[in-house]
Amino acid sequence: MSKRVITLCYRKIIRPNSVLPWDKLVHEDSYMEFKMQAQNFSTGTTYTSYAELTRYIPDAQKLSAMVTPSVSGYVQQLGGIIPDMLNILGRRFLKIKSYQFEIINSDINERDKHVVAIIFFSEPMLWHDTVDNYLLVSPYHAEQEIIEGEEILTDLFQLQPYLNIHAIKNLA
């Protein structure tokens, strides 16, 4: 089977009823920041929801980016590893290359409407094979030559909801 380089993307959704400490902190602080920043657009209007603001005030599209600095410290606390996504041994193993913060829904007056996502993009990985329902992958470094017969360390993991193969490249 020809080797392929893949990048994974995990869209971690954070809701008002999230129970994990990290999720709760992200929810709380991103809501506070949303509330603060949204008032830059809502003042003088009756709009309070993210949907209304982005629909009627084009400039409010910037809100996701304006709220991002409220979660960047929490992403750094993850130590460079994508949360929740486990290999077959039950360990987190996907390295974060970049991330994107997304406001899904929110409202200046209703904390319970605040739902956000952090989309994590992984470092590129070599997809060697598929074993049962599992993908066999190893970290890929473009500059590293693959030496025939040499042992490399691999991870087995299963695709699951909210985890996508975001990009693929076939190696010659």
* CA dihedral over 87, 161, 137, 1, signed as positive or negative: positive
Min dist. Cβ of residue 128 to another protein (A): 14
Count of residues near another protein by CB under 8 A: 61
C-beta separation of 71 from 139 below 8 A:
no
Site for another protein in 19-58 (CB under 8 A): 19-23, 25, 29, 32-33, 35-36, 39-40, 43
Does 114 sit near another protein (CB under 8 A)? no
Q: Which of 1, 2, 17, 170 binds another protein (CB under 8 A)?
A: 17
Site for another protein in 118-157 (CB under 8 A): 119, 121, 131-134, 156
HSE value, Cβ hemisphere, 13 Å, CA-based, for 48: 8
Min dist. Cβ of residue 127 to another protein (A): 17
Q: Which of 45, 105, 130, 158 binds another protein (CB under 8 A)?
A: 158
| Contacts for 22 with CB less than 8 Å, ≥ 6 apart | 74, 77, 78, 83
Min dist. Cβ of residue 45 to another protein (A): 13
Helix/strand/coil for 108: coil
Of 70, 72, 91, 69, nearest to 153 by C-alpha is 91
Task: CB nearer to another protein: give 52 or 84.
Answer: 84
